[in-house]
Amino acid sequence: MNGTATAALPALPTKRDEAWRYAPHAELARLTFGPADAAVDVPAEIEAQIPDLDGHRVVVVNGAVDTGRSTLPSVPGLAITRLSDADPDAVAAHFPADGEPADAFVAYNTRFGRDGVVVQVDAGHTIEAPIHLVDIVIPGPEHNTTSTGVVVTLGAESRATVVETRLGGGSAFGAANARSTITIGDGATLDHIVVQDAPDTQISLTRIDVTQGAASTYRGRSFNLGATYGRVASTVRLAGEGAHADLSGLYFGFGDQSLDQQVDIVHAAENCTSRQSYRGVLDDASTGIFSGGIDVRPGANGTDAEQENHNLILSDRAEANTQPRLEILADDVACKHGATVGQLDETALYYMRSRGIREADARRLLINGFADQVVDDVDYDTLRAWIIDRLGHADA
């Protein structure tokens, strides 16, 4: 451990912290942190749950890379290494030497999340096969929260797809505290898909920090489905002129789940575009949270930013909280945002039933039709099928 290990850790966020307003603070206070566990057995049912993507796969179990479960074909222009083995210079963005951590969970992750995955794509290379990072948490006796790190660096004019799947097992309370640091070079394109399907005994915290170079593209898709509290927080910094960020996400809550999306797009350069499009389906007594920030810094002229959030409420006990946060400090800015919270369209249900479709089937068609507008963005058939299958099971 380095010097920061002994430094005092910041206090946990409270209800007064806007970004953590809807978090279960009593449960968060029960989380205990520590370094990665030694080899842990992964039950077959978790293994079977992993989406079968034809490509490179790294499996991380309780914060340590499981080399036996990982398949890493050698491809020119692509290097996938363990975070624990990484050259400090290559992961400097992930472990900044100075500056305050954004919150206590970042601080814990920085301190204990010393293993994980480093993906580097060399300039000019296109990596066709998806790079699949599977993060599995099985809360252990020593501490119940696992910290994992992911560092993705794309060289100029390169392209790659990174899929992060978060799963878990065991019946004990615990959490994933994962953090990804992504740097996209000039003219490069990253497709980044996060699928969170932790068991409902767990909390899942995902934090993603993206920095984009000029004319680069980041397409972020999040499927926030599992955990009692599932959180995906993305901060995208458009640092180079003409960069484009396109984020979308689906959250689909049942039981008493809370599914929280915190998005911040920072326009720090001229003529950048950003899109946020999030959809939530909330059943039973679940809660959905969307908080979307568009932060246009001085000088970021020519910014074009749009944000939309649509929520479908299926139960009178379910709740959707949606909040746009716009700060515009530049000229010549086009900024649009809109949010809706609604129920299933009774007229559409009647229309479908008048065509002979059973009421339950009509409801499912409408719900899936609503969700598919995010799911259809996924280019990989097996992953799309996995998500649809998962939604179907949840719906049954």
352 binds another protein, rule: CB under 8 A: yes
| Contact string 280-299 vs another protein (x = CB under 8 A) | --------------------
Collapsing DSSP to helix, strand or coil, 33 comes out as coil
Does 368 participate in binding another protein (rule CB under 8 A)? Answer: yes
What token pair was written down for 360? 């339950």
Give yes or no for residue 317 binding another protein (CB under 8 A).
no
Q: Is 366 in the site for another protein (CB under 8 A)?
A: yes
Is 358 an interacting residue with respect to another protein (CB under 8 A)?
Answer: yes
Where does this chain touch another protein (CB under 8 A) — which range of 98-106, 129-137, 257-265, 362-370?
362-370
How far apart are CB 61 and another protein at their closest, in Å?
37
Q: Is 157 exposed, middle or buried (0-12, 13-18, 19+ CB in 10 A)?
A: middle
Q: Does 373 bind another protein (CB under 8 A)?
A: yes
**Of 160 and 371, which CB lies nearer to another protein in the complex structure?**
371
Nearer to another protein, 210 or 371 (CB): 371
Write down the least CB distance from residue 372 to another protein, Å: 5
Place of tokens 């389906």: 281
Bridge partners for 163 per DSSP: 132, 193
Whole-angstrom distance, CA of residue 78 vs CA of residue 104: 33
Which span sits near another protein by CB under 8 A: 10-18, 122-130, 256-264, 366-374?
366-374
User: Which residue in the set 370, 386, 387, 391 belongs to the binding site for another protein (CB under 8 A)?
Assistant: 370
Backbone angles phi, psi at 110, to 5 degrees: -65, -35
Neighbours of 350 (CB within 10 A): 12
The one among 9, 50, 123, 348 contacting another protein by CB under 8 A: 348
Q: Based on the shown chain and the rule CB under 8 A, indicate whether residue 385 belongs to the binding site for another protein.
A: no
What is the distance between the alpha carbons of residues 164 and 133, in angstroms, rounded to a whole number? 5
Residue closer to another protein, measured from CB, 123 or 388? 388
Question: Where do the DSSP E strands lie in the chain?
Answer: 56-61, 64-65, 78-82, 116-121, 131-137, 145-154, 159-168, 174-184, 189-196, 202-212, 217-224, 229-238, 244-253, 258-267, 273-282, 287-296, 304-313, 319-328, 334-343
- Helix ranges (DSSP H) in the chain: 25-28, 44-49, 104-112, 346-354, 359-375, 381-395
Residue 10 near residue 33, CB atoms below 8 Å: no
Considering the complex, what minimum distance in angstroms separates the CB of residue 36 from another protein?
A: 42
Name which of 129 and 349 has its Cβ closer to another protein. 349
Rounded-to-integer distance, Cα 269 and Cα 304, Å: 11
For another protein, the closer of residues 334 and 351 by Cβ is 351
**Using the rule CB under 8 A, is 351 a contact of another protein?**
yes
342 binds another protein (CB under 8 A): no
Which residue from 50, 344, 365, 385 is in contact with another protein, where contact means CB under 8 A?
365
Among 18, 361, 379, 389, binds another protein (CB under 8 A): 361
Task: Tell the smallest beta-carbon distance from residue 381 to another protein (Å).
Answer: 16
Q: Closer CB to another protein, residue 138 or residue 250?
A: 250
Instruction: Report yes or no: 282 and 314 within 8 Å, Cβ to Cβ.
Output: yes
Q: What is the DSSP letter of 96?
A: -
Binding stretches for another protein (CB under 8 A) = 345, 347-348, 350-359, 361, 365-366, 368-373
